[in-house]
Amino acid sequence: MVSAAAVFSAIAVLVSAATLVVAQEGASAGTITVPVTYSCDPNVCKPPACFCASTKPPGGLDPKNIPMFITLTFDDSINSVVWPIIQNFTEGWNPNPNGCPHSSTFFVSNQYTEYNYVSYLYSMGHEIAVHTVNHIANAPQAEIRASQQATNAFGGVPMNQLLGFRHPFLAFDGASFDGLAGLGTFLYDSSMPEDSNSSGFWPYTLDNGPAVGCASGTCDGPFRYPGLWEIPLNTLLNSDLTENGPMDPNPVPGGAVGQPTATEIFELLKFNFLRRYNGDRAPMGIFIHAATQIAVPARTAGFLQFFQWTQETYPNDVYYINNQQLLSWMLNPTDVATSKGSPTLGCRLPAIDPSNPEICDGINNKARGGVLAADPGLVMSCAFPPMSYWSTCFGCPNIDVNTTEPVPPRSGNRTIVPAAGCGAGAWDPVGAKVSFRLSCLLLLFTSVVVGAAN
């Protein structure tokens, strides 16, 4: 049994590490310049294999008739410290206009991550993506590969669903992109802040290099990655059109010193939403670190006020979706009415019916009550003193994961989720079988996009 003091000191280290990360990542992208000459011929670069960068919606659709997409993404480790914040942001909302719950994308770094939370988020229909094992700038390929493998093995996310990557600190170069593209298993990167004075770029493939967005990294070398999408971080602008930042809102000009207040965050988000909604409806990204919100709880209220305002004001055409859904919709773009029934915006609904057998999938379907109580008797607690403690449905490894051993030998007989996933079921790692569950309705949107990447 792990002593309380050991756990406490691990959490203290964890918080200081998270704060360090936050201080360095995405605080400001500096002045965004356009350092490259981008050109893309839509007669040559055609979907689904290739997609030209544009500020206009795909398919020649009129922006007034398409859904407005909001992508809420979280970066870094997921654990008990940031869990209450993640719940504040992701739970309790009305569903999207098509009946699917809000879905977010989590770029997970493995160090300090407790994997049972990853299983829960995946089972609840969120997208899990990759952010290196140790949160390293200009990510070496081993960091990317090991992170994908460890999250698959211990978080129970099928390999064919781990398709996205964000560079830690948004710091990248040609070598890190070579490594990412070279793995051949990733569909998209999302690391390049872009000036949203243009009203924002839609995602595009890097066949013809970056459209803009080399401010936080180096676009050196040929920098051409056929089929690899870039989901830009369109920066938030202040009301005087100066840049606020791509991630975690900064103080606004003339506003409170230090952290923005809830009202300032609400007004900032509303201003940027309306520019997009009344413009070309480029997706609005809300790119945050849960750990940033811990220090100043009032900030959370500003975000929640904004979510509530969009739900009340635009119940028919605003969708909170993950990055895979966004790309899937872009490959088959449809107007508001058609989008409502489109599989591109479909979802995996959690299997929370109490009549389902209890399996180790992060969800307690017998009695709801939070992730810690989920899957009673099935989650295993792993300890790697003095720093690392985490739980998983997939057996404790004999050492903590690292870049050379992302999946060390594991105790017990738990079986890792099949690489290709489980179709309309949920994976039972104890019985090593797919559990088909009455309440699980799957619209397999990712198969559309994966085909395009390969």
Q: Which positions touch ligand NAG (CB under 6 A)?
A: 84, 87-88, 195, 197, 237, 241-243, 297, 300-301, 304, 399, 402-405, 413, 415, 430, 432
Decide: is 406 part of the binding site for Zn ion (CB under 5 A). no
Distance in Å, CB of 168 to ligand NAG, minimum: 16
Decide: is 75 part of the binding site for Zn ion (CB under 5 A). yes
- CB-CB neighbours of 59 under 10 Å: 14
Which runs of E-coded beta strand occur in 231-315? 233-234, 236-237, 243-245, 284-289
> CB under 5 to 8 A by kind: which of Zn ion, ligand NAG, none does 54 bind?
none
- Span of 20-28, 83-91, 312-320, 381-389 interacting with Zn ion by CB under 5 A: 20-28
Quick one: tokens of 444?
């397999």
Distance in Å, CB of 180 to ligand NAG, minimum: 19
By beta-carbon proximity to ligand NAG, the closer residue of 188 and 307 is: 307
- Pairing state between β 243-245 and 236-237: antiparallel
Distance in Å, CB of 237 to ligand NAG, minimum: 6
Distance in Å, CB of 89 to ligand NAG, minimum: 9
> CB under 5 to 8 A by kind: which of Zn ion, ligand NAG, none does 195 bind?
ligand NAG
For Zn ion, the binding residue among 76, 230, 280, 428 (CB under 5 A) is 76
Tell me the C-alpha distance between 359 and 422, whole Å. 14
* Residue type (1 letter), 280: D
Burial letters 312-332, b for 16+ CB under 10 A, else e = eeeeebbbbbbbbbbbbbbbb
By beta-carbon proximity to ligand NAG, the closer residue of 141 and 338 is: 141
Distance in Å, CB of 391 to ligand NAG, minimum: 18
- For residues 84 and 335, is the Cβ–Cβ distance under 8 A? no
Distance in Å, CB of 383 to ligand NAG, minimum: 15
> CB under 5 to 8 A by kind: which of Zn ion, ligand NAG, none does 301 bind?
ligand NAG
By beta-carbon proximity to Zn ion, the closer residue of 75 and 243 is: 75
> CB under 5 to 8 A by kind: which of ligand NAG, Zn ion, none does 304 bind?
ligand NAG
Please classify residue 370 by burial: count the beta carbons closer than 10 Å to its beta carbon, then call 0-12 exposed, 13-18 middle and 19+ buried. exposed
Q: Let me know how long the chain is.
A: 454
- For residues 193 and 214, is the Cβ–Cβ distance under 8 A? no
Decide: is 189 part of the binding site for Zn ion (CB under 5 A). no
Quick one: tokens of 129?
């993506």
By beta-carbon proximity to Zn ion, the closer residue of 75 and 173 is: 75
> CB under 5 to 8 A by kind: which of Zn ion, ligand NAG, none does 76 bind?
Zn ion
> CB under 5 to 8 A by kind: which of Zn ion, ligand NAG, none does 75 bind?
Zn ion
> CB under 5 to 8 A by kind: which of Zn ion, ligand NAG, none does 65 bind?
none
By beta-carbon proximity to ligand NAG, the closer residue of 87 and 94 is: 87
Decide: is 280 part of the binding site for Zn ion (CB under 5 A). no
Please classify residue 178 by burial: count the beta carbons closer than 10 Å to its beta carbon, then call 0-12 exposed, 13-18 middle and 19+ buried. middle
By beta-carbon proximity to ligand NAG, the closer residue of 87 and 447 is: 87
> CB under 5 to 8 A by kind: which of ligand NAG, Zn ion, none does 248 bind?
none
Torsion of CA 31, 36, 39, 44, to 10 degrees: -110
Hey, is 318 helix, strand or coil? strand
Decide: is 267 part of the binding site for Zn ion (CB under 5 A). no
- For residues 117 and 157, is the Cβ–Cβ distance under 8 A? no
Distance in Å, CB of 76 to Zn ion, minimum: 5
Distance in Å, CB of 51 to Zn ion, minimum: 26
> CB under 5 to 8 A by kind: which of Zn ion, ligand NAG, none does 168 bind?
Zn ion
- Integer CA distances (angstroms), 18 to 24, 82, 148, 318, in order: 10, 10, 20, 32
What are 392's strand-pairing partners?
Answer: 380
Decide: is 168 part of the binding site for Zn ion (CB under 5 A). yes
Tell me the C-alpha distance between 180 and 182, whole Å. 5
- Integer CA distances (angstroms), 62 to 41, 57, 96, 281, 333, in order: 21, 7, 21, 10, 11
Residue nearest to Zn ion (CB): 75
Distance in Å, CB of 75 to Zn ion, minimum: 4
Q: State whether the Cα torsion 75-78-82-85 is positive or negative.
A: positive
Distance in Å, CB of 19 to Zn ion, minimum: 12
Instruction: Please give the residue ranges that form the binding site for Zn ion (CB under 5 A).
Output: 25, 75-76, 168
